[in-house]
Structure 1
Amino acid sequence: MEYTKEFKERDELLGQLADRGLAVPDPTVALNFLTRVGYFRSGAYRYVFRQLLPPEKIDARLHQYRSDDYIAGASIEHVLKLEAFDFKLARVCQEGLLDFEVRLRAAMAHTLAAKNVAAHADKKFLDAHSCDQLSGDQTLGKHTKFDAWTTTWRDAVRSGAEDEDFIKHHLLKYPHQDVPIWAVTEVLSFGNLPYLFELMQTPDAREVARMFGFAHPSRFGAMLRMMVDFRNACAHGSRLFNRAFKRSVALGQHDTDGDLLAHLVGADFTNTPKPRQRLYIYAAVLAFMLRSHSSGSNWHLTFKTQIKKLDIKLQAPNGSELLSPNVSMGFPAGWLDLDLWKSAS
Structure 2
Amino acid sequence: MTSQKQSYNKSFLDIDAQITLLKSRGMLFHDENMAKKSLLNLNYYRLSGYWSPFQNQDDTFKDDTYFEEIINIYEFDSKLKLLLFGVIEKIEISARTKFAYYLSRKYDPHPLIESNFLDKDKFDKTYKKFRSELSRNNKPIFIEHYESKYNEELPPIWVCVEVMTFGILSQFTKNIKDIQLKRTIAKCYNLDISVYEPNLYHLSILRNDIAHHSRIYNKTFKITPKIPNKLKSISNQNAIGYIYNTIVLIDYLLKQIDNKSEFMNEINTLILSHHIDKSKMGYPRK
What TM-score does the superposition give when structure 1 sets the normalisation length? 0.75
Which amino acid letter does the alignment assign opposite residue 73 of structure 2?
L
Mapping 1:185-200, distance limit 5 Å: 185-200=161-176
1:14 alignment partner in structure 2: 19
Superposition RMSD on alpha carbons, in Å? 2.0
1:105 alignment partner in structure 2: 96
Check conservation: 2:15, 2:39, Cα contact below 8 A: yes
Q: 1:305 aligns with which of 252, 262, 269?
A: 269
Which amino acid letter does the alignment assign opposite residue 299 of structure 1?
F
Mapping 1:41-52, distance limit 5 Å: 41-51=46-56
Distance 2:91 2:82 in 1: 14
Could you say if the C-alpha distance between residues 131 and 296 of structure 1 is closer, same or farther in structure 2, counting changes exceeding 3 Å?
farther
Query: How many residues end up aligned between the 2 structures?
Result: 279
Residues 1:119 and 2:111 are matched in the alignment: yes
Check conservation: 2:198, 2:226, Cα contact below 8 A: no
> Deviations along 1:157-202, whole A, 9 cap, x unmatched?
223x742122122212212453100111111111111111012221
Distance 1:210 1:3 in 2: 53
Give, in angstroms, the shift of residue 49 of structure 1: 1.7
Q: 2:215 aligns with which of 227, 239, 242?
A: 239
Check conservation: 2:92, 2:166, Cα contact below 8 A: yes
Give, in angstroms, the shift of residue 220 of structure 1: 0.9
Check conservation: 2:227, 2:249, Cα contact below 8 A: no
Give, in angstroms, the shift of residue 74 of structure 1: 1.1
Gaps of 5+ in 1: 52-65, 133-143, 254-258, 313-323, 335-345
What TM-score does the superposition give when structure 2 sets the normalisation length? 0.90
Check conservation: 1:211, 1:294, Cα contact below 8 A: no
Residues 1:146 and 2:123 are matched in the alignment: yes
Distance 1:8 1:72 in 2: 25
Mapping 1:41-190, distance limit 5 Å: 41-51=46-56, 66-115=57-106, 116-121=108-113, 123=115, 126-127=116-117, 130-132=118-120, 144-159=121-136, 162-176=138-152, 178-190=154-166
> Deviations along 1:94-120, whole A, 9 cap, x unmatched?
111111111111111111111211112
Which amino acid letter does the alignment assign opposite residue 131 of structure 1?
D
Which amino acid letter does the alignment assign opposite residue 99 of structure 2?
M
Could you say if the C-alpha distance between residues 162 and 241 of structure 1 is closer, same or farther in structure 2, counting changes exceeding 3 Å?
closer
2:35 alignment partner in structure 1: 30
Distance 2:260 2:135 in 1: 35
Which amino acid letter does the alignment assign opposite residue 293 of structure 1?
I
Q: 1:249 aligns with which of 225, 236, 239?
A: 225
Distance 2:193 2:64 in 1: 50
Residues 1:287 and 2:247 are matched in the alignment: no
Distance 2:257 2:35 in 1: 45
Q: 2:278 aligns with which of 301, 325, 328?
A: 325
Distance 2:180 2:271 in 1: 38
Give, in angstroms, the shift of residue 290 of structure 1: 1.1
1:316 alignment partner in structure 2: none
Gaps of 5+ in 2: 1-5
Distance 1:203 1:294 in 2: 25
Check conservation: 1:280, 1:331, Cα contact below 8 A: yes
2:241 alignment partner in structure 1: 277
Distance 1:162 1:10 in 2: 39
Which amino acid letter does the alignment assign opposite residue 152 of structure 1?
K
Bigger helix fraction: 2
Distance 1:82 1:97 in 2: 22
SS of 1:69's partner is coil
2:3 alignment partner in structure 1: none
SS of 1:263's partner is coil
SS of 2:12's partner is coil
Structure 1 runs (4+) greater than 6 angstroms displaced: none
Distance 1:162 1:235 in 2: 19
Distance 1:16 1:303 in 2: 35
Could you say if the C-alpha distance between residues 207 and 297 of structure 1 is closer, same or farther in structure 2, counting changes exceeding 3 Å?
farther
Distance 1:85 1:294 in 2: 26
Could you say if the C-alpha distance between residues 162 and 20 of structure 1 is closer, same or farther in structure 2, counting changes exceeding 3 Å?
closer
